[in-house]
Chains A and B, each alone.
Chain A
Amino acid sequence: MAQHLLAEQNVMSNKRRQRRCLVVACGALAKEIVALRSQLALARSGSVSGPGALGSGEEVMTLQCLPAGFHNTPGKIAPAVEEILRDCAHEFDSVFVAYGECGTGGALDDVLKRYGASRMTGAHCYEFYAGGDLYEQIIEEQIGSFFLTDYLVKNFDRLIITGLGLDRFPHLRDDYFGNYTQLVYLSQTKDAALLQKAFGAADRLGLELRHIHVGYGGLASELEAVTKAVAKAAPGKIAPSPQSIEQLHVRG
Protein backbone atom coordinates (compact mmCIF):
# COMPACT_ATOMS: atom_id res chain seq x y z
CA MET A 1 0.00 0.00 0.00
CA ALA A 2 1.34 3.43 -0.87
CA GLN A 3 2.82 5.07 2.20
CA HIS A 4 1.85 8.60 1.29
CA LEU A 5 -1.86 7.91 1.31
CA LEU A 6 -3.91 9.85 3.76
CA ALA A 7 -6.08 6.77 3.85
CA GLU A 8 -9.15 6.08 5.83
CA GLN A 9 -7.71 2.72 6.63
CA ASN A 10 -10.03 2.03 9.51
CA VAL A 11 -13.05 2.42 7.27
CA MET A 12 -11.46 0.18 4.71
CA SER A 13 -10.89 -2.71 7.08
CA ASN A 14 -13.83 -2.44 9.48
CA LYS A 15 -16.74 -1.88 7.19
CA ARG A 16 -15.97 -4.25 4.43
CA ARG A 17 -19.56 -5.27 3.76
CA GLN A 18 -21.11 -1.83 3.48
CA ARG A 19 -18.50 0.09 1.57
CA ARG A 20 -19.41 0.64 -2.00
CA CYS A 21 -17.63 3.45 -3.71
CA LEU A 22 -13.99 4.49 -3.63
CA VAL A 23 -13.13 8.10 -4.32
CA VAL A 24 -9.47 8.78 -5.03
CA ALA A 25 -8.90 12.51 -4.77
CA CYS A 26 -6.37 15.28 -4.95
CA GLY A 27 -5.58 16.42 -1.40
CA ALA A 28 -6.71 19.91 -2.41
CA LEU A 29 -10.28 18.55 -2.55
CA ALA A 30 -10.27 16.44 0.64
CA LYS A 31 -12.10 18.80 2.96
CA GLU A 32 -14.65 19.67 0.31
CA ILE A 33 -15.37 16.03 -0.48
CA VAL A 34 -15.79 15.15 3.20
CA ALA A 35 -18.25 18.04 3.52
CA LEU A 36 -20.14 16.96 0.42
CA ARG A 37 -20.14 13.34 1.52
CA SER A 38 -21.90 14.12 4.76
CA GLN A 39 -24.35 16.38 2.94
CA LEU A 40 -25.16 13.55 0.55
CA ALA A 41 -25.46 11.02 3.36
CA LEU A 42 -27.84 13.25 5.29
CA ALA A 43 -29.90 13.87 2.22
CA ARG A 44 -30.13 10.14 1.56
CA SER A 45 -31.01 9.20 5.12
CA GLY A 46 -33.48 12.03 5.50
CA SER A 47 -32.44 12.61 9.11
CA VAL A 48 -29.30 13.24 11.08
CA SER A 49 -29.59 10.11 13.18
CA GLY A 50 -31.88 7.18 13.71
CA PRO A 51 -32.22 3.90 11.90
CA GLY A 52 -31.11 3.94 8.29
CA ALA A 53 -29.02 7.05 8.68
CA LEU A 54 -25.77 6.98 6.80
CA GLY A 55 -23.90 8.99 9.40
CA SER A 56 -20.93 10.72 7.86
CA GLY A 57 -21.40 8.85 4.62
CA GLU A 58 -18.22 6.85 5.03
CA GLU A 59 -20.15 3.62 4.61
CA VAL A 60 -21.06 4.55 1.08
CA MET A 61 -18.02 6.49 0.03
CA THR A 62 -14.44 5.77 1.06
CA LEU A 63 -12.05 8.59 0.39
CA GLN A 64 -8.36 8.28 -0.30
CA CYS A 65 -6.32 11.38 -1.01
CA LEU A 66 -3.02 12.01 -2.69
CA PRO A 67 -0.77 14.95 -1.78
CA ALA A 68 -2.00 18.28 -3.15
CA GLY A 69 1.63 19.09 -3.95
CA PHE A 70 1.35 16.78 -6.98
CA HIS A 71 -0.14 19.87 -8.63
CA ASN A 72 3.32 21.07 -9.44
CA THR A 73 4.57 17.67 -10.56
CA PRO A 74 1.64 16.23 -12.52
CA GLY A 75 3.81 13.37 -13.78
CA LYS A 76 3.34 11.77 -10.34
CA ILE A 77 -0.46 11.79 -10.41
CA ALA A 78 -1.25 8.88 -12.74
CA PRO A 79 1.24 6.39 -11.20
CA ALA A 80 0.03 7.26 -7.68
CA VAL A 81 -3.64 6.85 -8.64
CA GLU A 82 -2.78 3.57 -10.30
CA GLU A 83 -1.05 2.33 -7.16
CA ILE A 84 -4.22 2.87 -5.13
CA LEU A 85 -6.45 1.34 -7.77
CA ARG A 86 -4.21 -1.68 -8.05
CA ASP A 87 -4.30 -2.14 -4.28
CA CYS A 88 -7.97 -1.75 -3.60
CA ALA A 89 -10.21 -0.97 -6.58
CA HIS A 90 -11.42 -4.56 -6.56
CA GLU A 91 -12.86 -4.13 -3.08
CA PHE A 92 -15.37 -1.56 -4.28
CA ASP A 93 -18.39 -1.51 -6.50
CA SER A 94 -17.27 1.64 -8.23
CA VAL A 95 -14.28 3.92 -8.37
CA PHE A 96 -14.35 7.63 -8.97
CA VAL A 97 -11.24 9.77 -9.32
CA ALA A 98 -11.64 13.34 -8.14
CA TYR A 99 -9.02 14.83 -10.40
CA GLY A 100 -9.41 16.78 -13.61
CA GLU A 101 -7.03 15.99 -16.43
CA CYS A 102 -4.58 18.12 -14.43
CA GLY A 103 -1.80 18.20 -16.99
CA THR A 104 -1.10 14.47 -16.91
CA GLY A 105 -0.90 14.42 -20.69
CA GLY A 106 -3.43 11.60 -21.06
CA ALA A 107 -1.65 9.32 -18.55
CA LEU A 108 -4.43 9.57 -15.96
CA ASP A 109 -7.11 8.70 -18.50
CA ASP A 110 -5.10 5.67 -19.59
CA VAL A 111 -5.06 4.40 -16.00
CA LEU A 112 -8.78 5.05 -15.56
CA LYS A 113 -9.56 3.17 -18.74
CA ARG A 114 -7.64 0.15 -17.47
CA TYR A 115 -9.63 0.10 -14.23
CA GLY A 116 -13.02 1.06 -15.60
CA ALA A 117 -13.01 4.17 -13.42
CA SER A 118 -14.11 7.71 -14.23
CA ARG A 119 -12.94 11.17 -13.20
CA MET A 120 -14.17 14.76 -12.87
CA THR A 121 -15.13 16.34 -16.16
CA GLY A 122 -12.80 19.19 -17.01
CA ALA A 123 -9.17 20.10 -17.27
CA HIS A 124 -8.62 21.16 -13.65
CA CYS A 125 -10.42 22.06 -10.43
CA TYR A 126 -10.87 25.74 -11.36
CA GLU A 127 -12.84 24.63 -14.36
CA PHE A 128 -15.07 22.17 -12.52
CA TYR A 129 -15.68 24.47 -9.55
CA ALA A 130 -16.63 27.42 -11.76
CA GLY A 131 -18.27 25.36 -14.49
CA GLY A 132 -16.87 25.34 -18.01
CA ASP A 133 -18.88 28.32 -19.22
CA LEU A 134 -18.01 30.69 -16.41
CA TYR A 135 -14.35 29.65 -16.53
CA GLU A 136 -14.26 30.33 -20.27
CA GLN A 137 -15.94 33.66 -19.78
CA ILE A 138 -13.43 34.79 -17.15
CA ILE A 139 -10.52 33.77 -19.38
CA GLU A 140 -12.13 35.44 -22.41
CA GLU A 141 -12.54 38.66 -20.47
CA GLN A 142 -9.10 38.56 -18.92
CA ILE A 143 -6.59 36.00 -20.07
CA GLY A 144 -4.27 37.08 -17.25
CA SER A 145 -6.44 35.47 -14.57
CA PHE A 146 -4.85 33.37 -11.86
CA PHE A 147 -7.30 31.29 -9.84
CA LEU A 148 -7.53 30.45 -6.17
CA THR A 149 -9.97 28.13 -4.38
CA ASP A 150 -10.69 27.93 -0.64
CA TYR A 151 -7.95 25.34 -0.36
CA LEU A 152 -5.40 27.46 -2.20
CA VAL A 153 -6.26 30.54 -0.18
CA LYS A 154 -5.78 28.59 3.04
CA ASN A 155 -2.53 27.09 1.81
CA PHE A 156 -1.34 30.03 -0.24
CA ASP A 157 1.99 30.38 1.55
CA ARG A 158 2.84 26.70 1.35
CA LEU A 159 1.67 25.93 -2.18
CA ILE A 160 2.17 29.18 -4.05
CA ILE A 161 4.84 31.12 -2.19
CA THR A 162 6.99 28.20 -1.03
CA GLY A 163 5.89 25.86 -3.85
CA LEU A 164 7.09 28.28 -6.50
CA GLY A 165 10.19 29.21 -4.51
CA LEU A 166 9.08 32.80 -3.98
CA ASP A 167 10.11 32.62 -0.32
CA ARG A 168 13.69 31.94 -1.38
CA PHE A 169 13.68 34.02 -4.55
CA PRO A 170 11.12 36.82 -4.17
CA HIS A 171 12.45 38.53 -7.30
CA LEU A 172 11.04 35.66 -9.40
CA ARG A 173 7.53 36.99 -8.85
CA ASP A 174 7.48 38.75 -12.19
CA ASP A 175 8.92 35.75 -14.01
CA TYR A 176 5.90 33.83 -12.78
CA PHE A 177 3.17 36.44 -12.61
CA GLY A 178 4.33 39.15 -15.02
CA ASN A 179 1.66 38.02 -17.51
CA TYR A 180 -1.14 38.16 -14.94
CA THR A 181 -3.56 40.96 -14.19
CA GLN A 182 -6.06 39.57 -11.70
CA LEU A 183 -6.42 37.01 -8.97
CA VAL A 184 -9.79 35.27 -9.20
CA TYR A 185 -10.92 33.75 -5.93
CA LEU A 186 -13.48 31.04 -6.69
CA SER A 187 -14.82 30.40 -3.19
CA GLN A 188 -16.51 27.20 -2.04
CA THR A 189 -17.69 28.55 1.31
CA LYS A 190 -18.63 32.05 2.41
CA ASP A 191 -15.92 32.84 4.90
CA ALA A 192 -14.94 36.42 5.66
CA ALA A 193 -11.56 35.42 7.06
CA LEU A 194 -10.69 33.54 3.88
CA LEU A 195 -11.77 36.46 1.75
CA GLN A 196 -9.50 38.68 3.78
CA LYS A 197 -6.67 36.22 3.22
CA ALA A 198 -7.39 36.24 -0.52
CA PHE A 199 -6.98 40.01 -0.54
CA GLY A 200 -3.61 39.53 1.15
CA ALA A 201 -2.61 36.95 -1.49
CA ALA A 202 -3.57 39.31 -4.32
CA ASP A 203 -1.55 42.03 -2.71
CA ARG A 204 1.46 39.77 -2.45
CA LEU A 205 1.28 38.88 -6.13
CA GLY A 206 0.62 42.48 -7.13
CA LEU A 207 -2.77 41.56 -8.67
CA GLU A 208 -6.33 42.85 -8.40
CA LEU A 209 -8.69 40.54 -6.52
CA ARG A 210 -11.95 39.38 -8.05
CA HIS A 211 -14.15 37.24 -5.83
CA ILE A 212 -16.78 34.92 -7.26
CA HIS A 213 -18.67 32.57 -4.97
CA VAL A 214 -19.13 29.38 -6.97
CA GLY A 215 -19.69 26.81 -4.22
CA TYR A 216 -18.76 23.20 -5.04
CA GLY A 217 -19.87 23.37 -8.67
CA GLY A 218 -19.31 20.20 -10.66
CA LEU A 219 -17.72 18.46 -7.69
CA ALA A 220 -21.10 18.34 -5.92
CA SER A 221 -23.10 17.18 -8.92
CA GLU A 222 -20.60 14.54 -10.01
CA LEU A 223 -20.20 13.10 -6.50
CA GLU A 224 -23.94 12.96 -6.16
CA ALA A 225 -24.23 11.11 -9.46
CA VAL A 226 -21.58 8.64 -8.36
CA THR A 227 -23.26 7.87 -5.03
CA LYS A 228 -26.63 7.50 -6.70
CA ALA A 229 -25.20 5.11 -9.28
CA VAL A 230 -23.50 2.99 -6.68
CA ALA A 231 -26.66 2.76 -4.61
CA LYS A 232 -28.59 1.49 -7.61
CA ALA A 233 -26.02 -1.01 -8.85
CA ALA A 234 -25.71 -4.49 -7.47
CA PRO A 235 -22.42 -5.09 -5.60
CA GLY A 236 -19.53 -6.16 -7.76
CA LYS A 237 -21.11 -5.02 -10.97
CA ILE A 238 -19.18 -1.86 -11.63
CA ALA A 239 -15.51 -2.42 -10.92
CA PRO A 240 -13.56 -5.17 -12.67
CA SER A 241 -12.85 -8.29 -10.63
CA PRO A 242 -9.50 -8.49 -8.82
CA GLN A 243 -8.33 -11.06 -11.28
CA SER A 244 -9.02 -8.95 -14.32
CA ILE A 245 -7.37 -5.94 -12.69
CA GLU A 246 -4.29 -8.02 -12.02
CA GLN A 247 -4.19 -9.19 -15.61
CA LEU A 248 -4.72 -5.72 -16.98
CA HIS A 249 -1.98 -4.38 -14.79
CA VAL A 250 0.53 -6.96 -15.94
CA ARG A 251 -0.33 -6.15 -19.52
CA GLY A 252 -0.16 -2.38 -18.92
Chain B
Amino acid sequence: MSDEDEIILKDLNDADLVDQMKDDLYDGLADEVFEGVEILLERGWDANLVLSDALVEGMRIVGVDFRDGILFVPEVLQCAGAMKKGMGLLRPILAQSSTKSSTGKFVIGTVKGDIHDIGKNLVGMMLEGAGFEVIDLGINNPVENYLEAIDKHRPNVLGMSALLTTTMPYMGVVIEELDKRGILKELPVMVGGAPLNQEFADAINATSYGRDAAMSAELAKTLVGKNM
Protein backbone atom coordinates (compact mmCIF):
# COMPACT_ATOMS: atom_id res chain seq x y z
CA MET B 1 0.00 0.00 0.00
CA SER B 2 2.49 2.60 -1.13
CA ASP B 3 -0.16 5.01 -2.38
CA GLU B 4 -1.94 4.90 0.97
CA ASP B 5 -1.42 8.61 1.62
CA GLU B 6 -3.36 9.51 -1.49
CA ILE B 7 -6.54 7.72 -0.51
CA ILE B 8 -9.28 10.16 0.47
CA LEU B 9 -11.47 8.23 2.87
CA LYS B 10 -14.48 10.46 2.26
CA ASP B 11 -14.47 9.58 -1.44
CA LEU B 12 -14.84 5.86 -0.83
CA ASN B 13 -18.18 4.11 -0.87
CA ASP B 14 -19.22 2.34 2.33
CA ALA B 15 -17.88 -1.09 1.44
CA ASP B 16 -14.53 0.25 0.25
CA LEU B 17 -14.28 2.51 3.28
CA VAL B 18 -14.83 -0.40 5.67
CA ASP B 19 -12.17 -2.41 3.83
CA GLN B 20 -9.81 0.54 3.96
CA MET B 21 -10.47 0.94 7.69
CA LYS B 22 -9.55 -2.68 8.27
CA ASP B 23 -6.30 -2.11 6.35
CA ASP B 24 -5.60 1.06 8.34
CA LEU B 25 -6.28 -0.76 11.59
CA TYR B 26 -3.89 -3.52 10.48
CA ASP B 27 -1.27 -0.85 9.79
CA GLY B 28 -1.90 0.73 13.18
CA LEU B 29 -3.00 4.07 11.70
CA ALA B 30 -5.03 5.46 14.59
CA ASP B 31 -5.94 8.82 13.03
CA GLU B 32 -7.18 7.20 9.83
CA VAL B 33 -9.28 4.66 11.74
CA PHE B 34 -10.75 7.47 13.80
CA GLU B 35 -11.60 9.41 10.64
CA GLY B 36 -13.22 6.33 9.10
CA VAL B 37 -15.42 5.90 12.17
CA GLU B 38 -16.43 9.56 11.96
CA ILE B 39 -17.37 9.25 8.29
CA LEU B 40 -19.46 6.11 8.80
CA LEU B 41 -21.30 7.73 11.69
CA GLU B 42 -21.94 10.83 9.57
CA ARG B 43 -23.37 8.57 6.89
CA GLY B 44 -25.87 7.30 9.43
CA TRP B 45 -24.25 3.98 10.29
CA ASP B 46 -25.30 2.42 13.57
CA ALA B 47 -22.44 2.56 16.07
CA ASN B 48 -22.79 -1.17 16.76
CA LEU B 49 -22.30 -1.92 13.10
CA VAL B 50 -19.24 0.31 12.81
CA LEU B 51 -17.78 -1.51 15.78
CA SER B 52 -18.46 -5.02 14.56
CA ASP B 53 -17.90 -4.65 10.80
CA ALA B 54 -14.87 -2.38 10.78
CA LEU B 55 -13.08 -2.46 14.14
CA VAL B 56 -13.77 -5.93 15.54
CA GLU B 57 -13.42 -7.58 12.15
CA GLY B 58 -10.16 -5.67 11.56
CA MET B 59 -8.81 -6.78 14.93
CA ARG B 60 -9.83 -10.37 14.24
CA ILE B 61 -7.60 -10.36 11.17
CA VAL B 62 -4.78 -8.87 13.26
CA GLY B 63 -5.25 -11.66 15.80
CA VAL B 64 -5.04 -14.36 13.14
CA ASP B 65 -1.80 -12.92 11.73
CA PHE B 66 -0.36 -12.58 15.24
CA ARG B 67 -1.14 -16.21 15.94
CA ASP B 68 0.47 -17.23 12.64
CA GLY B 69 3.63 -15.27 13.40
CA ILE B 70 3.09 -12.68 10.65
CA LEU B 71 2.57 -9.81 13.10
CA PHE B 72 4.50 -9.37 16.35
CA VAL B 73 3.72 -7.80 19.71
CA PRO B 74 4.69 -4.19 18.79
CA GLU B 75 2.55 -4.25 15.65
CA VAL B 76 -0.36 -5.71 17.59
CA LEU B 77 -0.01 -2.92 20.15
CA GLN B 78 -0.11 -0.38 17.33
CA CYS B 79 -3.29 -1.97 15.98
CA ALA B 80 -4.80 -2.01 19.46
CA GLY B 81 -4.01 1.69 19.80
CA ALA B 82 -5.85 2.37 16.53
CA MET B 83 -8.86 0.34 17.65
CA LYS B 84 -8.86 2.13 21.00
CA LYS B 85 -8.97 5.49 19.26
CA GLY B 86 -11.91 4.43 17.11
CA MET B 87 -13.70 2.98 20.10
CA GLY B 88 -13.21 6.21 22.00
CA LEU B 89 -15.59 7.81 19.54
CA LEU B 90 -18.10 4.96 19.61
CA ARG B 91 -18.20 4.28 23.34
CA PRO B 92 -20.29 7.31 24.42
CA ILE B 93 -22.72 6.73 21.57
CA LEU B 94 -23.08 3.06 22.43
CA ALA B 95 -23.61 3.90 26.09
CA GLN B 96 -26.57 6.15 25.24
CA SER B 97 -27.95 4.20 22.34
CA SER B 98 -31.31 2.52 22.79
CA THR B 99 -30.10 -0.23 20.47
CA LYS B 100 -27.26 -0.98 22.84
CA SER B 101 -27.45 -4.65 23.55
CA SER B 102 -25.36 -5.67 26.52
CA THR B 103 -24.13 -9.19 25.96
CA GLY B 104 -23.32 -9.51 29.65
CA LYS B 105 -20.85 -8.43 32.30
CA PHE B 106 -17.29 -9.71 32.18
CA VAL B 107 -14.81 -9.22 35.03
CA ILE B 108 -11.21 -9.67 33.90
CA GLY B 109 -7.84 -9.33 35.62
CA THR B 110 -4.24 -10.54 35.61
CA VAL B 111 -3.49 -12.77 38.60
CA LYS B 112 -1.39 -12.05 41.66
CA GLY B 113 2.35 -11.85 41.06
CA ASP B 114 1.93 -11.04 37.37
CA ILE B 115 1.91 -7.64 35.75
CA HIS B 116 1.74 -8.65 32.09
CA ASP B 117 -1.39 -7.05 30.69
CA ILE B 118 -1.14 -6.68 26.92
CA GLY B 119 -3.09 -9.86 26.17
CA LYS B 120 -5.67 -9.16 28.86
CA ASN B 121 -6.24 -5.66 27.48
CA LEU B 122 -6.74 -7.04 23.99
CA VAL B 123 -9.24 -9.59 25.24
CA GLY B 124 -11.05 -6.81 27.13
CA MET B 125 -11.25 -4.76 23.95
CA MET B 126 -12.64 -7.61 21.88
CA LEU B 127 -15.16 -8.43 24.61
CA GLU B 128 -16.28 -4.84 24.58
CA GLY B 129 -16.53 -5.07 20.81
CA ALA B 130 -18.77 -8.10 21.29
CA GLY B 131 -21.07 -6.05 23.50
CA PHE B 132 -19.85 -7.07 26.94
CA GLU B 133 -19.64 -4.61 29.77
CA VAL B 134 -16.04 -5.16 30.81
CA ILE B 135 -14.85 -4.58 34.35
CA ASP B 136 -11.06 -4.59 34.24
CA LEU B 137 -9.34 -5.27 37.55
CA GLY B 138 -5.90 -4.56 36.12
CA ILE B 139 -2.83 -6.50 37.20
CA ASN B 140 -1.51 -8.42 40.23
CA ASN B 141 -4.90 -9.46 41.60
CA PRO B 142 -5.16 -11.61 44.72
CA VAL B 143 -8.26 -13.80 45.12
CA GLU B 144 -9.89 -11.14 47.32
CA ASN B 145 -10.05 -8.72 44.39
CA TYR B 146 -11.91 -11.22 42.24
CA LEU B 147 -14.32 -12.05 45.06
CA GLU B 148 -15.00 -8.39 45.75
CA ALA B 149 -15.63 -7.67 42.06
CA ILE B 150 -17.95 -10.68 41.74
CA ASP B 151 -19.88 -9.44 44.72
CA LYS B 152 -20.08 -5.89 43.47
CA HIS B 153 -20.72 -6.40 39.76
CA ARG B 154 -22.45 -9.79 39.59
CA PRO B 155 -20.68 -10.68 36.30
CA ASN B 156 -21.80 -13.32 33.83
CA VAL B 157 -18.23 -14.46 33.24
CA LEU B 158 -14.94 -14.17 35.11
CA GLY B 159 -11.65 -14.03 33.18
CA MET B 160 -8.10 -14.45 34.45
CA SER B 161 -4.84 -13.89 32.63
CA ALA B 162 -1.32 -15.15 33.47
CA LEU B 163 1.90 -15.04 31.46
CA LEU B 164 4.37 -16.51 33.92
CA THR B 165 4.87 -20.17 34.75
CA THR B 166 5.08 -19.10 38.36
CA THR B 167 1.72 -17.29 38.36
CA MET B 168 -0.38 -19.71 36.28
CA PRO B 169 -1.11 -21.99 39.26
CA TYR B 170 -2.68 -19.06 41.09
CA MET B 171 -5.62 -19.28 38.69
CA GLY B 172 -6.29 -22.69 40.19
CA VAL B 173 -6.21 -21.16 43.66
CA VAL B 174 -8.89 -18.64 42.68
CA ILE B 175 -11.06 -21.30 41.04
CA GLU B 176 -10.81 -23.51 44.12
CA GLU B 177 -11.91 -20.63 46.32
CA LEU B 178 -14.86 -19.93 44.01
CA ASP B 179 -15.79 -23.58 44.20
CA LYS B 180 -15.58 -23.62 48.00
CA ARG B 181 -17.94 -20.68 48.14
CA GLY B 182 -20.40 -22.28 45.74
CA ILE B 183 -19.83 -19.53 43.14
CA LEU B 184 -18.26 -21.75 40.48
CA LYS B 185 -21.46 -23.59 39.62
CA GLU B 186 -23.04 -20.34 38.49
CA LEU B 187 -20.11 -18.34 37.21
CA PRO B 188 -18.17 -19.57 34.17
CA VAL B 189 -14.44 -18.91 34.44
CA MET B 190 -12.27 -18.30 31.38
CA VAL B 191 -8.49 -18.40 31.53
CA GLY B 192 -5.81 -17.34 29.08
CA GLY B 193 -2.19 -16.29 28.56
CA ALA B 194 0.60 -17.46 26.24
CA PRO B 195 2.01 -20.34 28.34
CA LEU B 196 -1.44 -21.87 29.02
CA ASN B 197 -3.13 -24.62 27.09
CA GLN B 198 -6.38 -26.55 27.18
CA GLU B 199 -4.82 -29.28 29.29
CA PHE B 200 -3.85 -26.81 31.99
CA ALA B 201 -7.26 -25.13 31.91
CA ASP B 202 -8.90 -28.54 32.36
CA ALA B 203 -6.55 -29.44 35.19
CA ILE B 204 -7.49 -26.34 37.21
CA ASN B 205 -11.16 -26.83 36.45
CA ALA B 206 -11.64 -23.66 34.38
CA THR B 207 -14.79 -23.49 32.29
CA SER B 208 -12.88 -22.58 29.16
CA TYR B 209 -9.51 -21.61 27.77
CA GLY B 210 -9.18 -18.66 25.41
CA ARG B 211 -6.30 -18.99 22.99
CA ASP B 212 -6.67 -15.51 21.52
CA ALA B 213 -8.81 -12.41 21.85
CA ALA B 214 -11.25 -12.99 19.00
CA MET B 215 -11.83 -16.61 19.93
CA SER B 216 -12.23 -15.64 23.58
CA ALA B 217 -14.96 -13.13 22.73
CA GLU B 218 -16.80 -15.79 20.73
CA LEU B 219 -16.43 -18.31 23.53
CA ALA B 220 -17.66 -15.79 26.07
CA LYS B 221 -20.76 -15.14 23.98
CA THR B 222 -21.41 -18.87 23.89
CA LEU B 223 -21.03 -19.08 27.65
CA VAL B 224 -23.73 -16.48 28.19
CA GLY B 225 -25.96 -18.04 25.54
CA LYS B 226 -25.58 -15.19 23.07
CA ASN B 227 -23.83 -17.02 20.29
CA MET B 228 -26.61 -19.18 18.97
Using a CB–CB distance below 8 Å, which chain A residues touch chain B? 72-74, 101, 103-106, 123-124, 127, 139, 143-144, 164-166, 168-169, 172, 175-176, 179-180
B residues 65-121 touching A (CB-CB < 8 Å) = 69, 72-75, 77-78, 81, 113, 115, 117-118
Q: Shortest beta-carbon distance, B177 to chain A, in Å?
A: 21
Taking a contact as CB atoms under 8 Å apart, the answer to whether A165 and B200 are in contact is no
Q: Closest 8 A-B residue pairs measured CB to CB?
A: A165-B74, A105-B195, A179-B115, A101-B165, A123-B165, A103-B195, A123-B166, A175-B77
Given A103-B163, A123-B166, A143-B113, A169–B78 Cβ distance below 8 Å?
yes
Taking a contact as CB atoms under 8 Å apart, the answer to whether B115 and A143 are in contact is yes
* Interface assignment of B140: CB less than 8 Å from any CB of chain A: yes
Taking a contact as CB atoms under 8 Å apart, the answer to whether B74 and A164 are in contact is yes
Contacting residue for B164 out of A106, A123, A175, CB 8 A:
A123
B residues 171-211 touching A (CB-CB < 8 Å) = 194-197, 200
Q: Shortest beta-carbon distance, A207 to chain B, in Å?
A: 13
A-B contact count (CB 8 A): 53
Taking a contact as CB atoms under 8 Å apart, the answer to whether B72 and A165 are in contact is yes
* Interface assignment of B139: CB less than 8 Å from any CB of chain A: yes
Given the complex, which residues of A lie within 8 Å of B197, measured CB to CB?
105-106
Contacting residue for A105 out of B72, B139, B166, B200, CB 8 A:
B200
Given the complex, which residues of A lie within 8 Å of B113, measured CB to CB?
139, 143
Using a CB–CB distance below 8 Å, which chain B residues touch chain A? 69, 72-75, 77-78, 81, 113, 115, 117-118, 139-140, 163-166, 194-197, 200
Given the complex, which residues of B lie within 8 Å of A72, measured CB to CB?
72-73
Taking a contact as CB atoms under 8 Å apart, the answer to whether B194 and A105 are in contact is yes
Given the complex, which residues of B lie within 8 Å of A176, measured CB to CB?
118
Contacting residue for A103 out of B75, B115, B139, B194, CB 8 A:
B194
Given the complex, which residues of B lie within 8 Å of A103, measured CB to CB?
163-165, 194-195
Taking a contact as CB atoms under 8 Å apart, the answer to whether A143 and B200 are in contact is no
Given A143-B113, A164-B73, A172–B78 Cβ distance below 8 Å?
yes
- Cα A74 to Cα B197 in complex, Å, equals 14
Q: List 5 extra interface pairs beyond A105-B196, A164-B73, CB under 8 A.
A: A74-B194, A123-B165, A143-B115, A165-B74, A169-B77
Given the complex, which residues of A lie within 8 Å of B200, measured CB to CB?
105-106
A-B contact pairs, 8 of them (CB 8 A): A72-B72, A73-B69, A105-B194, A105-B196, A143-B140, A165-B73, A175-B81, A179-B117
In the complex, which residue of chain B has the Cβ closest to the Cβ of A180? B115
Taking a contact as CB atoms under 8 Å apart, the answer to whether A74 and B139 are in contact is no
Taking a contact as CB atoms under 8 Å apart, the answer to whether B195 and A169 are in contact is no
Q: Shortest beta-carbon distance, A81 to chain B, in Å?
A: 16
Given the complex, which residues of B lie within 8 Å of A144, measured CB to CB?
115
Given A101-B165, A103-B163, A139-B113, A74–B195 Cβ distance below 8 Å?
yes
Given the complex, which residues of A lie within 8 Å of B73, measured CB to CB?
72, 164-165
Given the complex, which residues of A lie within 8 Å of B118, measured CB to CB?
175-176
Given the complex, which residues of B lie within 8 Å of A101, measured CB to CB?
165
Q: Shortest beta-carbon distance, A26 to chain B, in Å?
A: 15
Given the complex, which residues of A lie within 8 Å of B72, measured CB to CB?
72, 165
- Cα A64 to Cα B194 in complex, Å, equals 27
- Cα A101 to Cα B164 in complex, Å, equals 10
Q: Shortest beta-carbon distance, B207 to chain A, in Å?
A: 20
In the complex, which residue of chain A has the Cβ closest to the Cβ of B117? A179
Given the complex, which residues of B lie within 8 Å of A73, measured CB to CB?
69
Given the complex, which residues of B lie within 8 Å of A164, measured CB to CB?
73-74
Given the complex, which residues of B lie within 8 Å of A172, measured CB to CB?
74, 77-78
Given the complex, which residues of A lie within 8 Å of B164, measured CB to CB?
103, 123
In the complex, which residue of chain A has the Cβ closest to the Cβ of B138? A179
In the complex, which residue of chain B has the Cβ closest to the Cβ of A143? B140
- Cα A164 to Cα B72 in complex, Å, equals 9
- Cα A73 to Cα B197 in complex, Å, equals 16
Q: Shortest beta-carbon distance, A252 to chain B, in Å?
A: 16
Taking a contact as CB atoms under 8 Å apart, the answer to whether A168 and B74 are in contact is yes
- Cα A124 to Cα B116 in complex, Å, equals 15
In the complex, which residue of chain B has the Cβ closest to the Cβ of A135? B166
